[in-house]
């Protein structure tokens, strides 16, 4: 029978080899996460300040009741919001969202290339200029809530390697991605052991690694206590 005092050092060594790499990744990635404010990672400093409150003459606006689908009851909500140098109505239906010019009622969505370019340039507050614009369908996971459907990708040159993901249905900049965000995202996937979607931190891989790390730690503590008790800690 293997005695416990002999089993613990062996267990500690084996677990150190098996789980030590993941523990190192947890420590290294956790240190990286602590270096940058999450607002910087999300690229909030690259967004232009949103326009102030709308000041419009109500008699110059199209009545929301005249927008397509409103009279028929297919529109659940209508919202008036700033859009470029003017204003727009955003409607929400079972089929999705749509954008209309608040002054003329003309449809603005889906945004064409010219409008998407205006949205990108108006929303940019960083250094550098727009270097590329393309409609991506389907958009990748980094597009955030626009993932899986058509989105405008606007790339800017400069050290941030920034990308705006623009929703063609609402004209909103749905996500800002930078080189820092992409590094953060990669390390986050390694940290939570969700290498594909980088969202789930309750997978069995994570639970197993956490349990083995706990055993590794407890075994290490036991070894230290035993050495202190036997007066061998400084030998």
Give strand pairing partners of 177: 163
pLDDT at 20 over 90: no
Q: Which residue has the higher pLDDT, 8 or 63?
A: 63
pLDDT at 185: 96
Q: What range defines the domain where residue 171 resides?
A: 44-48+57-177
Q: Specify the 3-state DSSP secondary structure of 52.
A: coil
> Is residue 218 domain-shared with residue 200, that is, in the same domain?
yes
- The answer to whether position 234 is within a domain reads no
Worst-scoring range by mean pLDDT, 21-30, 79-88, 169-178, 195-204? 195-204
- Among 24-38, 83-97, 138-152, which stretch is predicted with the lowest mean pLDDT? 83-97
**pLDDT confidence bin for 165, thresholds 50/70/90:** very high
Structure tokens at 159: 């050290």
Q: Is the pLDDT at 45 greater than 70, yes or no?
A: yes
Does one domain contain both 209 and 114? no
Q: Which residue has the higher pLDDT, 166 or 70?
A: 166
In a domain, 208, yes or no: yes
User: Do 172 and 70 have their domain in common?
Assistant: yes
Specify whether the CB–CB gap between 105 and 66 falls below 8 A: yes
Residue range 51-62, pLDDT digits in tens: 666 655 566 788
């Amino acid at each position: 029978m293997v005695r416990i005092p002999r089993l613990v050092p062996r267990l500690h060594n084996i677990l150190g080899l098996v789980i030590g790499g993941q523990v190192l990744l947890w420590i290294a990635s956790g240190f990286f996460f602590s270096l940058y404010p999450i607002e910087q990672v999300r690229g909030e400093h690259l967004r232009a300040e949103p326009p102030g409150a709308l000041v419009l003459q109500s008699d110059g606006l199209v009545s929301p009741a005249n927008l397509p689908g409103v009279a028929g009851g297919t529109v659940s909500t209508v919202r008036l919001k700033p859009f470029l140098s003017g204003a727009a109505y955003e409607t929400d239906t079972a089929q999705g969202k749509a954008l209309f010019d608040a002054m003329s009622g003309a449809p603005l969505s889906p945004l064409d290339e010219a409008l998407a370019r205006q949205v990108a340039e108006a929303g940019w507050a960083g250094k550098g200029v727009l270097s590329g614009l393309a409609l991506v369908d389907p958009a990748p996971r980094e597009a955030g809530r626009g993932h899986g459907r058509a989105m405008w990708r606007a790339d800017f040159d400069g050290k941030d390697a920034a990308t705006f993901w623009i929703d063609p249905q609402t004209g909103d900049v749905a996500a800002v991605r930078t080189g820092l965000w992409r590094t953060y995202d990669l390390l986050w996937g390694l940290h939570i052991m969700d290498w594909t979607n980088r969202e789930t931190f309750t997978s069995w891989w994570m639970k197993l690694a956490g349990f083995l790390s706990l055993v590794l730690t407890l075994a290490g503590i036991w070894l230290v206590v035993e050495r202190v008790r036997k007066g061998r800690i400084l030998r």
